Structure 1
């Protein structure tokens, strides 16, 4: 029986096409599956998990490319499916625990700080009064803060409040504040892709919508040198969150030292691919198969026995 991989994604397109091609080169059958279509079913023998396209069997391994947004309950169930797959001995890249850490910006900030990774000062709380005091204190010191949704990506929902804190209603009643780092005009940040504990490539994202430097918000992608400082910060950030692969967003602070803003556990790489000759999908697949699955070979041997046919 051929080795079968499920690419978990809520949409098919450029990224999944690249991944499927890279898996074909390695003689691996890869099938796209939406986590929203998976289910826990304790009558579905032998595992109690139903994964579309795999019948009563399970995939030999899972590559997580995308998880659709939804209600708290929907997202919890989708992550629960990934947890359940791991419990069944199926290697998951990145696994649910690591994705949970990276999706929750407050936990990302906590872990970066705990493990000594340079990152801007950050505050997260449900108290409007506390958040207002933070804002007033930072303003009095001549600094600005950025207010972000706790869960979000592609620069959506970011605000730079004035002296008054906006209503927390638009932020699901949670205030996540991060000290703003000004990079001048036009502003920029770096995206570094880390795969298997190694920084692979970097780009500079310049401009965009005002001070938000996301490719999806109109920023211009330029190749960037992988300096030792960028490499060290990105690799340490990825390790702090326990990710197999990650897109690490960094910005130059005082003296040009890079500090980590965010770590993306389900990172897109189309912008980065446009400025590097490396085949990023192939590098991801090679690391997935050669490092991740080699480590889990004993587990795979047990999990891919008779009960999966």
Structure 2
């Protein structure tokens, strides 16, 4: 059944403490989250609170609120993927409450440039490559929070990166995105090419997803001038239209099968298959 988060809530009149259309006093066996509706701060907090509550009730939630919160906030993602226990390589990043012009100048002295990204953002929107420290956006344009990521020049003559789809602890599909400029987003005109990730890159993507606690995730990686793979982003609610066009694997079926395997006992899955 489909139960939009916007129609769910908390209730003292049900045995579960939640109000979910069609379930009454019962909990779902599992909850698969495809997206979080937009809205006010209060509304989004409520939606995430519901997902937290489901997990507290023992419901299998993919992805749960912790993973979503960790990925939607790029500064938290950065913190987690750079912890020693995770060990995926990542470019130097900074999240600050005030412009760090000194940091920008330091990067320029190293002959590299910072990329300014919205702390909460996706699909390449609002990303800017800064030529000088004076190019930082005014505070009101970034809601008072600056997230800066060191620009990784392409190892090849053209701009490209890897997009890997991690599900259930393994990489199930991957592609290389070729961009006409340094932003290699499919919706902004980049070209997708099917590709098989090396074991090194696949292990890196799986560790990155594990760092944020995501059961399924889109991991973006790039190579630096030394040929080392770097983690650029981890997305807990990835779109896969572009990836689906270059892989024969039906990604929706793959994700659903993995989710059901985690949420339902084997006996229940077998009964559903026989039906």
Fold in common (TM above 0.5): yes
Among 175, 188, 195, the residue aligned to 1:203: 175
Name the residue aligned to 1:136.
105
Mapping for residues 241-256 of structure 1, pairs under 5 Å: 241-256=212-227
Contact map agreement 2:153 2:225 (CA 8 A) in 1: no
Name the residue aligned to 2:97.
126
Name the residue aligned to 2:11.
41
The Cα of 1:34 is off from its aligned counterpart by 2.0
CA distance in 2, matches of 1:246, 1:294: 24
Would you say how many aligned residue pairs link Structure 1 and Structure 2?
Answer: 262
CA distance in 2, matches of 1:151, 1:294: 36
Contact map agreement 2:30 2:263 (CA 8 A) in 1: no
Among 67, 71, 76, the residue aligned to 1:102: 71
Among 158, 181, 190, the residue aligned to 2:152: 181
The reply to whether residue 167 of structure 1 matches residue 165 of structure 2 is no
Task: Spell out, residue by residue over 1:105-131, the C-alpha distance to the aligned partner (whole angstroms, 9 max, x if none).
Answer: 001111111122111100111022xx1
SS in 2 for 1:254: coil
Contact map agreement 2:29 2:263 (CA 8 A) in 1: no
Gaps of 5+ in 1: 1-30, 298-309
The Cα of 1:294 is off from its aligned counterpart by 4.6
SS in 2 for 1:33: coil
Contact map agreement 1:104 1:151 (CA 8 A) in 2: yes
The reply to whether residue 278 of structure 1 matches residue 249 of structure 2 is yes
Task: Spell out, residue by residue over 1:27-85, the C-alpha distance to the aligned partner (whole angstroms, 9 max, x if none).
Answer: xxxx222212211222x311221122434433221001111233322221111110011
SS in 1 for 2:192: strand
Contact map agreement 2:165 2:218 (CA 8 A) in 1: yes
Gaps of 5+ in 2: 269-275
**Taking structure 1 as reference, are residues 281 and 238 closer, same or farther at Cα in structure 2, changes over 3 Å only?**
same
Name the residue aligned to 1:32.
2
Among 214, 234, 246, the residue aligned to 2:205: 234
Task: Spell out, residue by residue over 1:189-238, the C-alpha distance to the aligned partner (whole angstroms, 9 max, x if none).
Answer: 11001111111111011115x32111122211110121112111101101
Q: TM-score, normalised by structure 2?
A: 0.90
SS in 2 for 1:85: helix
Task: Spell out, residue by residue over 1:136-190, the C-alpha distance to the aligned partner (whole angstroms, 9 max, x if none).
Answer: 1111221101111111111111111232122121111101100001225531111
Contact map agreement 1:125 1:174 (CA 8 A) in 2: yes
Name the residue aligned to 1:70.
39
Name the residue aligned to 1:25.
none
Task: Spell out, residue by residue over 1:280-301, the C-alpha distance to the aligned partner (whole angstroms, 9 max, x if none).
Answer: 1111111112235459x9xxxx
Name the residue aligned to 2:187.
216
Contact map agreement 1:121 1:178 (CA 8 A) in 2: yes
Contact map agreement 2:175 2:243 (CA 8 A) in 1: yes
The reply to whether residue 111 of structure 1 matches residue 83 of structure 2 is no
CA-based RMSD: 1.8
CA distance in 2, matches of 1:220, 1:236: 26
CA distance in 1, matches of 2:160, 2:110: 24
